[in-house]
Structure 1
Amino acid sequence: MYVITGGAGFLGSALLWQLNGQGLDDIVVVDDLGSSPKWRNLVKRRYADYLHRDAFLDLVRRDALPWKLDGLIHLGACSSTTETNADFLMENNFHYSRDVCRYALDKGARVINASSAATYGDGSLGFSDDPALVPRLRPLNMYGYSKQLLDLWLQRERLEDAVASLKFFNVYGPNEYHKGDMASVVFKTHGRIRESGRMALFRSEDPAVPDGEQKRDFVYVKDCVRLLAWLLEHPHVNGIRNAGTGEARSFNDLVRAVFVALGREPVIDYVDMPVTLRGRYQAYTRADMGWLARAGCPLRFTPLEAGVEDYVRGHLERDDRFL
């Protein structure tokens, strides 16, 4: 039995789609649905059971799971980069993650954890997945720090070779409709083009970088879940690793790709960055993905324009937009 925490969320439900496509449905979805619309992400999926995140943690702490745990894919966490409640993030993103990962390892299960590129902070130390870099990183927000703490715990407990902890970069794609302000720029651009025919991007804080030319590593969610599925089948491949395309593309490139996918001429405005983001904004990210070739993984990431076209035309423009 596999457990996907955050299984109704963006990445978790996309992984469920991927595993269902491979004929797997002995899966327990762990999440906190509440009144969120993310339950829709589960409607077309097959899985054995659903557990509230607190119920799952209680079973873990009492060693009372009613089935053998073969794999834990821990994707459940608060993903808001603007969350300011540090105690909540400590409990939800660090302590919860530590406890469920420790339990799964003690049971001999495969463990995959979602870390984040937010751990790299301003990028001044680069984006290498060299283990020696991990303790030197200084995240720019509490979300990034909460993810950093789990990676540091893995190192301190000498568990790097037993867990695949993936630093996901800027993920976009289907099943993110419930994420609100944390939805991808692709999703937001599509909606704003439909509303007004134009899109606004932040002005650059760096005089040497033109407006809209801030660059990120944008990675399609379908590639992310293919990578997760491959790692499930290769439990010897572990470590604190990057999950991105290895290419940095500008926000201008991203937004123009959405306009092109919709058959429209780009109309882009530039606005001042909110005060709350100044000094905490990653203006450049690019994943070092050399580990994939060394691990023998055959996955090739979808180019930006192709991923955006598939997302916009194949999902956002259709009435049924869920995987």
Structure 2
Amino acid sequence: MYIVTGGAGFIGSAMVWKLNQMGVTDILVVDELGRDEKWKNLVNLKYEDYLHKDQFFKMLLKGEDPFETDAVIHMGANSSTTEPDADHLMENNYRYTQMLCRFALNHGVRMINASSAATYGDGSLGFSDDHAGLERLKPLNMYGYSKQLFDLWALRSGALERLASLKFFNVFGPNEFHKGDMMSVICKARKQIRETGRMRLFKSYHPDYPDGGQMRDFVWVKDCVDVMWWLLEHPEANGVFNVGTGKARTWNDLARAVFAALSLEPVIEYMEMPEGLRGKYQYFTQAEMGKLRAAGYEAPFTSLEDAAREYVRDYLEREDPHLGN
């Protein structure tokens, strides 16, 4: 049995899709469906059972493994970078992950955890996933801090030597449609372009970056789940790993890629950034990928242009835009 927490969410449901692609259907999806349309991510997928996260938590408290688990893929978390409830993030993202980690290690089960590139803060300390620099990082928001706390606990307790904790950079792709404001810019851009004929980006307030020239490491969700599958196949690869392309691209590049996918000439406008965001804005992110490569991962990462084309044409422009359609 493969347990996928957050299995109805964005990366979690993509991982269930990947498992299905590899012939695996013996999957327990753990999540909290609530009142949004996250459930639609599951419709095209094959899995054995679904369990609400609170029920799963009660199972963890008993310390038992009634599922004869092969692996825990922990993608479940509150991923909102603007979530104001710090106590909620401490319990939901940090304590819950600690408990799940203990469960996995106590039962000799492979664990893959979702950390985040938000742990790198403003990027002034770089983007190295070397364990020696973990304690120096200063996240800019509580979400990033909740992820940082688990990585630090895992490092100090020795758990990090027995699990893989993945710092995802700017992931985009199908099954993110329920995320509202947290959807990727590509997903929002296609809708905006179809409705208005143009795309709006934030102006820059940094002298080294022109408007729309702020840079991110945009990574295709299918590449992310390929990495996770490889880690399941290679349980000797443990520790913190960045998951990005290793190549930063500008927002202007992204906008042009979406227009190209729609066979339209680019029309880009620049708008003021909200005051509350300006002091917390990252102008540059780029994953250092040497550690994952050194561990043996050799597959290439999809270019922004190719991934945007597939996302827009094969998903966003279709009636059913979900994986497995």
Shorter-chain TM-score: which interval? over 0.9
- What is the CA-CA distance between 1:102 and the residue it aligns to? 1.2
Q: CA deviation at 1:213?
A: 0.4
- Paired letter, 1:247: K
Q: TM-score, normalised by structure 2?
A: 0.98
**Could you tell me which residue of structure 1 aligns to residue 192 of structure 2?**
192
Q: CA shift at 1:282, angstroms?
A: 1.2
Rounded Cα–Cα distance in structure 2 between residues aligned with 1:24 and 1:250? 37
> CA separation in 1, counterparts of 2:276 and 2:69?
42
- 1:30-41 correspondence runs (5 A): 30-41=30-41
Amino acid at match of 2:10: F
Mean Cα displacement is larger for which, 63-72 or 306-315? 63-72
Matches within 5 A, 1:216-227: 216-227=216-227
Runs of at least 4 residues off by over 3 Å: none
For 1:168-183, list aligned pairs within 5 A.
168-183=168-183
Name the counterpart of 1:286: 286
- Identify unmatched segments of 5+ residues in structure 1: none
SS at match of 1:270: strand
Q: Could you tell me the percent identity over the aligned residues?
A: 60
- 1:77-116 aligned at under 5 Å gives the runs 77-116=77-116
Q: Deviations over 1:256-294 (max 9, x none)?
A: 100011011111111111122121111110000012321
Instruction: Map 1:66-77 to 2 at 5 A.
Output: 66-77=66-77
Normalised TM-score (structure 1): 0.99
Aligned to 1:55: 55
Q: Which runs of 5+ in 2 are unaligned?
A: none
| 2:245 match | 245
* Correspondence for 1:137: 137
SS, match of residue 160 in structure 1 = helix
Helix, strand or coil: the match of 1:188? helix
Q: What secondary structure is seen at the aligned counterpart in 1 of 2:159?
A: coil
CA shift at 1:2, angstroms?
A: 0.9
Deviations 1:124-173 (A, max 9, x none): 11111111111000001111101100100111101221010000000000
Partner of 1:315: 315
- Per the alignment, residue 148 of structure 1 pairs with 148
Q: CA deviation at 1:295?
A: 1.4
Corresponding position of 2:8: 8
Residue 232 of structure 1, CA deviation: 0.6
SS at match of 2:160: coil
Q: Aligned pair count?
A: 323
Give me the whole-angstrom Cα distance separating, in 2, the residues matched to 1:302 and 1:94.
31
Query: 1:66: Cα distance to partner?
Result: 2.1
Shift in Å at residue 186 of structure 1?
0.3
What is the CA-CA distance between 1:112 and the residue it aligns to?
0.4
SS at match of 1:13: helix
Q: Could you say which residue in structure 2 is the equivalent of 1:236?
A: 236
Cα deviation digits, residues 207-265 of structure 1 (max 9, x gap): 22101000000000000001111111110001111000000000010011000110111
> In structure 2, what is the equivalent of residue 123 of structure 1?
123
Deviations 1:37-57 (CA, angstroms, capped at 9, x unpaired)? 010110111111100011101
Q: CA deviation at 1:36?
A: 1.6
State how 1:250-265 maps to structure 2 within 5 Å: 250-265=250-265
Could you tell me which amino acid in structure 1 is paired with residue 80 of structure 2? Answer: S
Structure 2: how far apart are the matches of 1:164 and 1:292?
Answer: 11
Q: Is the 8 A contact 2:65 2:107 kept in 1?
A: no
* SS of match in other structure, 2:139: coil
Bigger shift: 268-277 or 39-48? 268-277
Corresponding residue of 2:275:
275
Between the aligned partners of 1:275 and 1:66, the Cα distance in structure 2 is 51
Q: Secondary structure at the match of 1:112?
A: strand
What is the rounded CA distance, in whole Å, between the counterparts of 1:225 and 1:315 in structure 2? 17
Could you tell me which residue of structure 1 aligns to residue 18 of structure 2? 18
Q: Offset at 1:75?
A: 0.3
Provide the rounded CA distance (Å) in 2 between the counterparts of 1:292 and 1:166.
10
1:63 Cα shift? 2.2
Report the equivalent of 1:45: 45
Q: Which secondary structure state, in structure 1, belongs to the residue aligned with residue 285 of structure 2?
A: coil
Paired AA for residue 291 in structure 2? W
RMSD, aligned α-carbons: 0.8
